[in-house]
């Protein structure tokens, strides 16, 4: 049955076109739409082929590009710098000119430059003397020696020496050990003006201080004692020994600063004692006494 129908369709005659059929005009392949894949236009530009789209838009963008704006700003900056240089050369004073020179008044008179105090000095007047900053400080009468600090007085002892002691301290007359004692509260200043001779104890102040000085005998006898800062000093032809000592006394632990000086063949001792807890005060008292001690004979 199917074979019969196929043979019937194949053998049937084609219909005639008739008068209502319009022939199509010939096709111009150049006017047909071009189908491009994505990215084809980009590849054409990379390959150096001319692009036909967006030319007018780029021309407008080039007219206001950042590069052209930068050139304009650079030109303006250069013009401003040139104007500033010209102004400085014409109006500002040159180096070396005296800007504080005398000024001419409206009537041609020369007025002097103002003094440091702000008022001009009258013509023909003598210059005012400058004040010495040290004059006002030296107007008060000095009752103590030049080496004595505030709060101390320079004592001229009848035993032939002078030394700085704290104000208000009491003096005890020379005792059987050849000591002159100044005391105040828990502190003592002991001075021995030439009691022992170098002929008997040798000419080494350090050995004398360590082995023979009577003022340090409690240090040598104490069951608990320390010594530090032992040193020998030579100043102006004089040889001295210095040291710091501690020992336990009847009123507790003592802190002692000691100086043994060999002057004209005899030993002079300057010693300050005080509580071990008051080391700083003992040091201040000792430094004043040691720095100002002079044997007057």
180 contacts 174 by C-beta, under 8 angstroms: yes
46-72 confidence digits (pLDDT tens): 555 454 444 444 545 555 567 788 888
Using CA atoms, how far residue 158 sits from 35, 169, 174, 295, in Å, is 132, 16, 10, 11
89-118 confidence digits (pLDDT tens): 887 766 555 444 444 344 333 334 444 334
144-172 confidence digits (pLDDT tens): 445 689 999 999 999 999 999 999 999 99
- Residue 276, pLDDT > 60, answer yes
Domains assigned to the chain: 152-295 (3.40.1000.10)
Using CA atoms, how far residue 167 sits from 111, 140, 182, 183, 285, in Å, is 59, 19, 11, 10, 11
The pLDDT of residue 100: 43
Task: Write the Ramachandran bin of 108: left for phi over 0, alpha for psi from -120 to 50, otherwise beta.
Answer: left
Give me the phi and psi of 172, to 5 degrees please: -110, 135
pLDDT-derived band at 176 (thresholds 50, 70, 90) equals very high
Neighbours of 292 (CB within 10 A): 22
């Amino acid at each position: 049955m199917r074979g019969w129908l196929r043979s019937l369709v194949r053998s049937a005659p084609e219909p005639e076109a008739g008068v209502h059929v319009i022939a199509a005009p010939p096709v111009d392949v150049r006017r047909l739409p071009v189908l491009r894949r994505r990215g084809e236009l980009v590849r054409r530009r990379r390959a150096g082929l001319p692009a036909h789209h967006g030319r007018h838009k780029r021309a407008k963008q080039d007219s206001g590009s950042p590069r052209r704006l930068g050139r304009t700003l650079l030109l303006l900056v250069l013009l401003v710098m040139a104007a500033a240089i010209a102004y400085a050369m014409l109006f500002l004073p040159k180096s070396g000119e005296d800007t504080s020179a005398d000024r001419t008044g409206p009537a041609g008179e020369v007025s002097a430059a103002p003094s440091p105090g702000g008022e001009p000095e009258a013509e023909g007047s003598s210059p005012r003397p400058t004040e010495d900053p040290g004059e006002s400080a030296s107007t008060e009468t000095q009752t103590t020696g030049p080496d004595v600090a505030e709060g101390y007085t320079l004592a001229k002892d009848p035993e032939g020496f002078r030394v700085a002691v704290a104000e208000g301290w009491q003096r005890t007359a020379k005792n059987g050990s050849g000591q002159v004692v100044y005391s105040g509260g828990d502190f003592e200043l002991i001075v021995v003006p030439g009691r022992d001779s170098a002929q008997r104890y040798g000419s080494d102040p350090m050995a004398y201080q360590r082995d023979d000085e009577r003022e340090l005998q409690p240090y040598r006898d104490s069951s608990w004692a320390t010594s530090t800062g032992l040193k020998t000093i030579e100043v102006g032809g004089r040889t001295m020994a210095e040291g710091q000592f501690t020992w336990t006394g009847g009123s507790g632990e003592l802190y002692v600063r000691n100086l043994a000086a060999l002057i004209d063949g005899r030993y002079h001792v300057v010693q300050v004692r005080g509580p071990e807890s008051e080391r700083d005060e003992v040091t201040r008292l000792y430094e004043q006494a040691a720095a100002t001690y002079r044997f007057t004979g």
